[in-house]
Chain A
Amino acid sequence: MTITILGIRHHGVGSATHVLQRLQEIQPDMIMIEGPPEITDVLKYVGHEGLVPPVSIMVYDQSEPKTSVFYPFSSFSPEWVAAEYANKNGLALRALDMPAAVNLQMKSDVITQVKVSSEQEEPDKNESDSPDADMFIQIAEAMEKRDPIYQLARHSGFENGEKWWDYHFERVHNHADAMTHFEAVHHSMSALREDNKEPNTDNDLREAYMRTYIRQARNEMYENIVVICGAWHGPALTDLDKYDKQDAKTIKSAPKTKIKVVATWIPWTNHRLSMYSGYGAGLSSPGWYQHLWESADDYDVTWLVKVAQTFRSKQMDISSAHVIETSRLAHTLAALRNKSTITLDELNEATLAVMCMGDEVKLQYINQELTVADRIGSVPDDIPKVPIQEDFEKTIKTLRLPLLPHDKQYDLDLRKDGDLQRSILLHRLELLDIPWGKRTSVRTKGTFKESWVLHWKPEIIVGLIDKSYLGNTIEQAAVSLVQEESSKTTHINVLSELIVKVIPAELFDLVQPLLDKIHGLSAISADIVDLMKAIPSLVEIGRYGNVRNTDTTLVITVVRNLLTRVFIGLPNACYGLDETHSEQMFSLISKVNESIKLIEDSDQSVEWYKTLWFIAHKDGIHPLIIGCVSRLLLDAGQFTDEEAETSMSLALSTANPPMDVAYWLEGFLSGSGMILLYDARLWNLLYKWVESLDTETFQEQLPFLRRSFSKFEYGERRQIGEKAKKGIIDTPKQNTDISTENFDHQRAASVFPILRILMGNKSM
């Protein structure tokens, strides 16, 4: 009976080469690789045709899928190579490590402890509620901390542990004997462990489990066992019997757990592999390792040829002579540094000097496309998955939306059924907060176009599995999510946003209940601001929603209801607001005004303008709002000339505090100065007002005036400036009815045909 321990580095190419060599020499009947025993079952899929690395095993808590652990593999990972070998030769294959259930239990214990203590100190801070991306980083950091090779590297003058290990143990093409290689690894790790005897309960527990599992396999009468584990653990696993009793005790001390864990395969990306720099040392360059794994002794030349091809595809002129020169420089650099093999450093530096004219920016292409080489793995259909994940994969297959590790833009034409279905799926995912697609602005006009940018990341699957409790399909999950959220909220605004999201997701059954709820809430709500926020989006649906064949009359009814309440409550809501709230009200009034124009309902607009008129003449309202409503009324033709002049001169009269006038102007001009250019009355009033200010007041007001004028277009400002040079404009009682005595109608009409062509036929 023999047990052979092979110490490796996770994702080490050299380790992988040597593992394969050793396996062929030893011919074992049982292979054990590092990893929680719960993944043993899914390991049998390694080597399956459809399972293409980079992939990862996701081990998660069934009742709370967000707490999960990942075991990523690339095709050059030693564990992957070993598992593939075992499956191909029909050997027994097991994982050995601390059970994931125990691991997750320990983690959640820590989290609850943190939660409890932070709640005691600062009740507002909820730090443990971190988003998905953080989860990955946390794992990486934790792994970096326990990398002991850093110490060894520091002793021998290497920059970091990766480089040390790389230089000594990961040279693929050094043709060292595999057996001596593993002996060397074993010796250096033993020496390190001697030096580093700090108690590490986590590690001790893991190694106790590992030894226990090996003993178990031995007792099952396996004759020739090979154990593949992180090099650090190697020395701890050789003397099994010495620790027999101690291990039983250690394992007893582990926390008791009732967590049920599930393991499954999910697609992974090279980019994500490279983020695990702490765990998978050297993985800042998965593409490079992949290249090393796949190529023979001439790896440097083949790499440079790939580099040249990449540059050529970017329209850079690179000749074969460049490749030759780069290779020579790389060799010389390696010689200069007394290195026996060329590493990526030398190749990159030579590429920089020869092909890129020293320009680092160009080297970035190589980093993105070759060194990291973003690939995405795939997982076949016959591996058991969560129902919602299966539904998702089936849907994207029928809709032909591939998972890609980089941005890809889709311009969807909603008049086509296929595109419409895609849009529906993406909207549903958005509802579920699964960030696969991002809406981007469409270049063409028309509501039937949508533009999405899709970018696949592994945490999307995690998000999906996390939502699995909501239902077995994407549709069901979206429906339950909306129901859950709508039952929780009392804000009309939130409900209207949900409606806006629900309609493009084509969950029409939800619209009626949501509208009912809005209806009910609006009756009791006293919050006018909330009502006003909801109106614009609802009006938009009512107006444009029919692209998706939705019944929008319902929406319009609700909007009318809301509007009535706004008409009544708005004047009071405007009363006595401070500056910041006035600004908010100012923008809300403008938005609702747009919506009123969209509805094209004369009764509603009459009511609206009445309300505005009332506000304009009410005391105690911030001049910013008064300015704004005056402008809206003027634009809508609700002011007679006299009324307009009165209100303007009232607002601009010198007796008003200059500050108020400045606010009024800001509201009135609302970002456009055109009115100053064509309305001589307003111009003269403003001119006189400015003139009336003494130097000190003028300087005080300057910042406020500047604020409203700076929002104008450059052309407008210039014209205003020119106009100001001329001073007051004589208004010979602006005669709008210009005398028509000598007007030649026929002659004037002769320009119409040309005008019609110029302006486009349809518009006239």
Chain B
Amino acid sequence: MNNNILSQHAEVVYAQELEELKKQDSGHIPAMWNMSPQSVVLYLMGGKLKNGFEISPKYIGSRRLMEIAVATLTTDRALLLYGLPGTAKSWVSEHLAAAISGNSSLLIQGTAGTGEEAIRYGWNYAKLLAEGPSEGALVTTPLMKGMKDGKLVRIEELTRISADVQDTLITVLSEKTMPIPELNMEVQAVRGFNVIATANNRDKGVNELSAALKRRFNTVILPVPETAAEEADIVKRRVSSLSKNLELPAEIPALIEIQRVVKIFRELRSGVTEDGKIKIKSPSSTMSTAEAISVVNNGMALSAHFGNGVMNAHDIAAGLVGAIVKDPVQDKVVWKEYLETVVKPREDWKDIYRACKEIAL
């Protein structure tokens, strides 16, 4: 294992957990799966194994949703994780792939420029010219590889791919086969193959899925965390695991600081203060949990490299303002109003108020 990798794949980071789960597994294991569906759910939700080994929770939220997701993958329907940006869609998809196939690297990133050749197959033109159409001249994609090996394939941001390219997935998902007319052959999917796609419903300019493609997916909407305590827990866990990855020397911040960030995010997102007494405007940014995590991380980095190693209000402020004020005109007003009407009157928030005021917008 190369220790200098910035962000390890889930199956590497949680190799031990996966190994223990496999050892303890007593359920029925679907063909080409690494473990039983029950164990996959356990891996995602966390819990204790019979031998006392502790599995850390990967997804904090409704168990019901994870059960639907795992159950979907055992059928021949693909899974679509849908939701606001930063609601752990990619995170869940990575862990599902890691637990089920032991490989979360078969990934297609969807963008407006993703072409058919990135999804089905491309050609090595030098070889194509030299040898003519042959299997050797074929450039395989993660999708084709997953079909051949019987693994899960992840497609990130499915709705950003243009509609005609999206529809190339229909044959693959319904017939489980990918024809290569140039070679007069086809690639047939092996058991264990399936697709996990993610898509967000907030961005403008997304390409709505066609009805035909929609029908090939079971949809699970991942919601924003229900309670403040749940959200604070998510941020804390993610920050501690990221700091391991990034080797941040600062101390894991006190829960109190995280709670404060989460509170600010929740209030701005919902447009009302936690006690329900003051109405506030919401900024144009999504204020997702993922952003809260990055604010805390940012703060830790600042305190580690430029401060005393203990995260304080000043370290958070910069990241906070950056995450909230995305539109320099509208959001600035929203943020200032929030600072003056909500943050300022809070007795124990004086430090963060001053820190934020210092950052001239």
Q: Which of A325, A336, A359 contacts B218 (CB 8 A)?
A: A325
Q: Which of A325, A328, A358 contacts B82 (CB 8 A)?
A: A358
List CB contacts (< 8 Å) of B97-144 with chain A.
none
B48 within 8 A of A: no
Q: Which of B41, B215, B219 contacts A353 (CB 8 A)?
A: B219
B64 touches A349 (CB 8 A): yes
Stretch from A229-237, A314-322, A402-410, A559-567 contacting the other chain = A314-322
Q: Which of B41, B72, B80, B211 contacts A329 (CB 8 A)?
A: B72
B77 touches A349 (CB 8 A): no
A332 touches B38 (CB 8 A): no
A336 touches B38 (CB 8 A): yes
Contacts across chains A and B counted by CB atoms under 8 Å: 56
A333 touches B82 (CB 8 A): no
A764 within 8 A of B: no
B74 touches A332 (CB 8 A): yes
A175 within 8 A of B: no
Known: A336-B37, A336-B38. A359 touches B221 (CB 8 A): yes
A332 touches B215 (CB 8 A): no
B246 within 8 A of A: no
Task: Please name all residues of chain B whose beta carbon is closer than 8 Å to the beta carbon of A352 when the two chains form the complex.
Answer: 68
Task: Please name all residues of chain B whose beta carbon is closer than 8 Å to the beta carbon of A338 when the two chains form the complex.
Answer: 38
Say how far A339's CB is from chain B's closest CB, in angstroms: 11
Q: Which of B71, B77, B215 has most chain A Cβ within 10 Å? A: B71
A329 touches B221 (CB 8 A): no
Chain B binding surface SS class? helix
List CB contacts (< 8 Å) of B16-67 with chain A.
37-38, 41, 64, 67
A357 within 8 A of B: yes
Say how far A148's CB is from chain B's closest CB, in angstroms: 28
A352-388 to B contact mask, C-beta < 8 Å, 1/0? 1110111110000000000000000000000000000
A337 within 8 A of B: yes
Q: Measured between alpha carbons, how far is A269 from B71 in the docked complex, in Å?
A: 37
Q: Which of A317, A319, A328, A329 contacts B68 (CB 8 A)?
A: A329
Count residues of chain A with CB under 8 A from any CB of chain B: 23
B215 touches A322 (CB 8 A): yes
Known: A321-B215, A353-B219. A333 touches B68 (CB 8 A): yes
Known: A322-B215, A353-B219, A358-B82. A333 touches B77 (CB 8 A): no
B75 within 8 A of A: yes
A357 touches B214 (CB 8 A): yes
A325 touches B68 (CB 8 A): no
B67 touches A336 (CB 8 A): yes
Q: Measured between alpha carbons, how far is A332 from B36 in the docked complex, in Å?
A: 12
Q: Measured between alpha carbons, how far is A724 from B67 in the docked complex, in Å?
A: 66
Task: Please name all residues of chain A whose beta carbon is closer than 8 Å to the beta carbon of B71 when the two chains form the complex.
Answer: 329, 332-333, 336
Task: Please name all residues of chain B whose beta carbon is closer than 8 Å to the beta carbon of A325 when the two chains form the complex.
Answer: 75, 77, 218
Query: 30 A-B contacts, Cβ less than 8 Å apart?
Result: A317-B211, A321-B215, A322-B215, A325-B77, A325-B218, A328-B75, A329-B72, A329-B218, A332-B37, A332-B71, A332-B74, A332-B75, A333-B67, A335-B37, A336-B37, A336-B38, A336-B71, A336-B74, A349-B67, A349-B68, A350-B68, A352-B68, A353-B72, A353-B218, A354-B218, A357-B82, A357-B219, A358-B82, A358-B219, A358-B220
Would you list the 6 A-B pairs with minimal beta carbon distance, nearest first? A358-B221, A358-B219, A332-B71, A353-B218, A357-B219, A333-B71
5 additional contacts (CB under 8 A) given A329-B75, A354-B219: A325-B218, A329-B71, A336-B38, A336-B67, A357-B82
Chain B positions within 8 Å of A, measured between CB atoms, are 37-38, 41, 64, 67-68, 70-72, 74-75, 77, 80, 82, 211, 214-215, 218-221
